Structure 1
Amino acid sequence: MSRDERKPRMPTRRDCVKYGGTVVGAGLFAGCTSNEGDDSNGTTSGSTESSQSASSDSTTTDESYTVSMSPMGEVEFDEVPETIFTRLTHLAGMAFALGRGNDVNALHAPDYYNDLWNQFTPRLPDVSLDWSGRYSSWNPDPEQLYELDSDVHLADPASVLALDGWNQSDVDEIRNNISPWFGNHFSNRHLSPPDAYAGEYEYYTLWEQFEKVARVFQAEDRYDALASIREDVLATIEADLPPESERPTVVMGGFSTPTEPYVYNVDTPGFLTAHVRPLDPVDAFGDDVSSGAQIDMETLIEADPDAIIVFGGMHPDTDMETVRTELENDPVGQKLTAVQNDRIYAQGARYQGPILNLFQLEMTAKQLYPDTFGEWPAYVDGAYPELPADEQFFDRKRVADIIRGEF
């Protein structure tokens, strides 16, 4: 069905959501008034989870509240969202961290990331996650968004506008007729958004964005508890970080074709390096190779990194033994310092949420500085290694309790 042929639909209560302080339309608002009594008991348990008073950009009037983030500005919610649309897994991972992972109805490559995330969940007691079979939303169809009828779209409207087949009226229509957008994509590498959003676009760290998402779900207490754990992890790293002269040169990338990898700079600003930048390694390429470029073995040997980080290496479909063997058998690859010293390490995802960020800070510290933080186990496949308690950077049970809301 084309967009011009859509059947008229009765407005739902969330059609009354005000966005940026403006009611979405007098006629639509009038159609909602008859539903006002339907939600007299409609608040969810999430709406009572916060142990904090609202901050300056999260205010409450009766049951409604607003949360502010660029590029959306102030977004008002009349109740805590239940069904959650996402595009990218850093936002799906935030829902997971807040105990709402199974309420996500869409994400990019859902079966792939379901399998990858579930390499970490076995270390979190009584925590489960199932994203299999969800709608794959890399370039979502507006009609499918109507079908999903989500309570919130955890996605950046500026990044959606940049997709093929989308224009500003489409973005506005979804916001006005279904539910708000709430996300910030271009903080990933501090890239420039489309011109329509360029003027006042702000960048956030992974955890700054997570704090705002927690306010959307009125779950600031879970954010505070997890943020405290992260601060302890960072303090552990900072207390024993070796001097600059002892830090390794590093290449990280995707090695699905081991001799022609896609590589990413370790010191790029943005949340994609949230697990690496605190460890302050030396980027093996410097300014010679742009982040996201595909390179050959000659380029890699010129950089000759001390360590290689393989994104997606922990996914069940990735054969790390094959990655290592192909590099060892390549006439150029076998000369790499990282290959000769067995320093080719599997990791998870670049678009990590808060929970993966905790695990990946721990694993990266051990991979890059084994003499300081303890050696990372030789990983071939399976779940995240079960480290001895005295070698863990954070308490798994505590994190699991927070996710479940039992803390």
Structure 2
Amino acid sequence: MTEHDPITSPTRRDYMTYGGSVLAGGLLAGCTGGGSESGPTETSAETSSETTTTTTDDDSYSVTMSPMGEVTFDDVPETIFTRLTHLAGMAFALGRGNDVNAMHAPAYYDALWNQFTPRLPGVDLDWSGLYSSWNVSKEKLYALDSDVHLADPVSVLALDDWNTADIDEIAENISPWFGNTLSSAHTQPTEAYEGDYEYYTLWEQFEKVAQVFRAGEQYEALAAIHDDVLARIEADLPSEGERPSIVMGGFSDPSAPYVYNVDTPGFLTAHTRPFEPVDAFDDGVTSGSRVDMEALLEADPDVILVFGGLHPTYDMANIRETLAADSVASEISAVQNGRIYAQGARYQGPILNLFQLEMTAKQLYPDIFGTWPSYTKGPYPEIPADERFFDRGRVADIMTGDV
């Protein structure tokens, strides 16, 4: 990667700076990058949520989140760089989805997110054609000239050719970093990092991102709906002995799926953990592992949740037929009982989290929460109004600023 000269680079965003940032000498001290980071696949003690915005006499304001520390803004960011969709999804939830200029696998996630927008009146989203930012370069960040980088600097440092000087250069010459990725599964930072890395739930991190955009009222309104959804689930959750065992996986190759934990800490399970699920593999398989049909039969799940199953390129009918025709897979309880269900994304953001809590409730407990429609393709299915977990119109209004 060609080194960009920080002396001659533009500095029009000197108004957005780190204040007391851990990047200067705390968490990231001594890290020189050099590793490679694999992309996500479809593929804390959790901190308490507290207000972290402070405002000064000159109208600048600061928001604090690990691993950045305190980040100061003089103005609300307009253009938004992202890598992972939990952060792009937070911009989307605040009505800022179309201000995103980069993300991981934009074509894939544009198609997937737009399976949900038809249920949100007046909400539109276009991520097609954006820069695919997983292996981001400094040169591209200068070209994009974003007002904020919603990305975890620790995860960027894991890419080849990035070091702490590069991270600081981008923050100084373009705009701050603001993101937290290791909360996805409470992953430990490498030993090169000094200090503590804090973990946040999906909604705790969303609150902080909302503070960056001075959108606290939108956050509070959406969080209240999320609280209501969780309360509904908790009130009617069956006892442990009455809960089905679950396998959650990516079945693009039905004969050798990747499987993921459903009950471990982190926001990747924000749509399954509230159900206190029974993981069919227990602790016997590392999340993200590939398994064969013999291993799947040995686990014998009552329910199979197919990640990405709502994506237009997924063929749920073919997945069901392939498993039913396999001499081994056909013996699995979920296959025999027709309990193979489509899901969305693990890096889901708050709006998809609301939908996925609703769909998971119906997929696991149709007798309690209402039947999940027999889905094969198309957008998120229509649910009878009296069986919905939240008001779609109300959510759409909040997203578009009508709090």
TM-score between both structures, scaled by the size of structure 1? 0.90
Matches of 2:140 and 2:133, distance apart in 1:
9
Matches of 2:287 and 2:161, distance apart in 1:
27
2:18 aligned residue = 19
Deviations 1:316-337 (Å, cap 9, x if unpaired)? 0111111111111111111110
2:29 aligned residue = none
Matches of 1:311 and 1:324, distance apart in 2:
14
Matches of 1:125 and 1:181, distance apart in 2:
32
Shift of 1:21: 3.6
Shift of 1:198: 4.8
2:27 aligned residue = none
Alignment counterpart, residue 361 of structure 1, candidates 343, 347, 357: 357
Instruction: Tell me, yes or no, if the aligned pair for 2:6 and 2:173 is still in contact at 8 Å.
Output: no
1:194 aligned residue = 190
Matches of 2:4 and 2:152, distance apart in 1:
25
Greater RCO, CA 8 A, separation 6+: 2
Say yes or no: does 1:207 pair with 2:206. Answer: no
2:35 aligned residue = none
Paired residue total: 376
Instruction: Tell me, yes or no, if the aligned pair for 1:161 and 1:194 is still in contact at 8 Å.
Output: no
Deviations 1:83-124 (Å, cap 9, x if unpaired)? 000000000000000010000000000011000000000000
Matches of 2:134 and 2:189, distance apart in 1:
17
1:320 aligned residue = 316
Instruction: Tell me, yes or no, if the aligned pair for 1:159 and 1:193 is still in contact at 8 Å.
Output: no
Q: Partner amino acid for 1:205?
A: T
Alignment counterpart, residue 55 of structure 2, candidates 32, 35, 60: 60
Q: Is the alpha carbon distance of 1:290 and 1:226 closer, same or farther for their aligned partners in structure 2, counting shifts above 3 Å?
A: same
Alignment of 1:20-169 (within 5 A): 20-21=19-20, 57-61=52-56, 62-169=58-165
Alignment of 1:292-331 (within 5 A): 292-331=288-327
Q: Partner amino acid for 2:55?
A: T
Q: Is the alpha carbon distance of 1:4 and 1:143 closer, same or farther for their aligned partners in structure 2, counting shifts above 3 Å?
A: closer
Matches of 2:100 and 2:178, distance apart in 1:
14
Larger Rg over CA atoms: 1
Instruction: Tell me, yes or no, if the aligned pair for 1:21 and 1:76 is still in contact at 8 Å.
Output: no
Alignment counterpart, residue 251 of structure 1, candidates 247, 251, 275: 247
1:241 aligned residue = 237
Matches of 2:223 and 2:277, distance apart in 1:
23
Deviations 1:113-136 (Å, cap 9, x if unpaired)? 000000000000010000000010
Instruction: Tell me, yes or no, if the aligned pair for 2:103 and 2:131 is still in contact at 8 Å.
Output: yes
2:329 aligned residue = 333
Alignment of 1:257-272 (within 5 A): 257-272=253-268
Identity %: 69
Matches of 2:343 and 2:10, distance apart in 1:
47
Matches of 2:368 and 2:110, distance apart in 1:
33
Instruction: Tell me, yes or no, if the aligned pair for 1:20 and 1:72 is still in contact at 8 Å.
Output: no
Q: Is the alpha carbon distance of 1:219 and 1:196 closer, same or farther for their aligned partners in structure 2, counting shifts above 3 Å?
A: farther
Matches of 2:356 and 2:215, distance apart in 1:
24
Instruction: Tell me, yes or no, if the aligned pair for 2:361 and 2:369 is still in contact at 8 Å.
Output: yes
Instruction: Tell me, yes or no, if the aligned pair for 1:309 and 1:346 is still in contact at 8 Å.
Output: yes
Q: Partner amino acid for 1:104?
A: V
Q: Partner amino acid for 1:225?
A: A
Instruction: Tell me, yes or no, if the aligned pair for 2:222 and 2:395 is still in contact at 8 Å.
Output: yes
Matches of 2:158 and 2:4, distance apart in 1:
22
Q: Partner amino acid for 2:77?
A: P
Q: Partner amino acid for 1:11?
A: T
1:185 aligned residue = 181
2:338 aligned residue = 342
Shift of 1:195: 3.2
Q: Is the alpha carbon distance of 1:165 and 1:222 closer, same or farther for their aligned partners in structure 2, counting shifts above 3 Å?
A: same
Secondary structure class of the residue paired with 1:105 = strand
Matches of 2:260 and 2:72, distance apart in 1:
37
Matches of 1:91 and 1:368, distance apart in 2:
28
Matches of 2:294 and 2:344, distance apart in 1:
26
Shift of 1:200: 1.3
Instruction: Tell me, yes or no, if the aligned pair for 1:158 and 1:194 is still in contact at 8 Å.
Output: no
Matches of 1:143 and 1:215, distance apart in 2:
29
Say yes or no: does 1:398 pair with 2:398. Answer: no
Shift of 1:388: 0.8
Q: Partner amino acid for 2:349?
A: G
Instruction: Tell me, yes or no, if the aligned pair for 1:345 and 1:367 is still in contact at 8 Å.
Output: yes
Deviations 1:302-347 (Å, cap 9, x if unpaired)? 1000000000000001111111111111111111100000000000
| Aligned alpha-carbon RMSD (Å) | 1.6
Structure 1 gap segments, 5+ residues each: 26-54
Structure 2 gap segments, 5+ residues each: 25-49
Shift of 1:3: 1.3
Give the structure with the larger helix fraction: 1
Q: Is the alpha carbon distance of 1:194 and 1:168 closer, same or farther for their aligned partners in structure 2, counting shifts above 3 Å?
A: farther
Matches of 1:232 and 1:2, distance apart in 2:
51
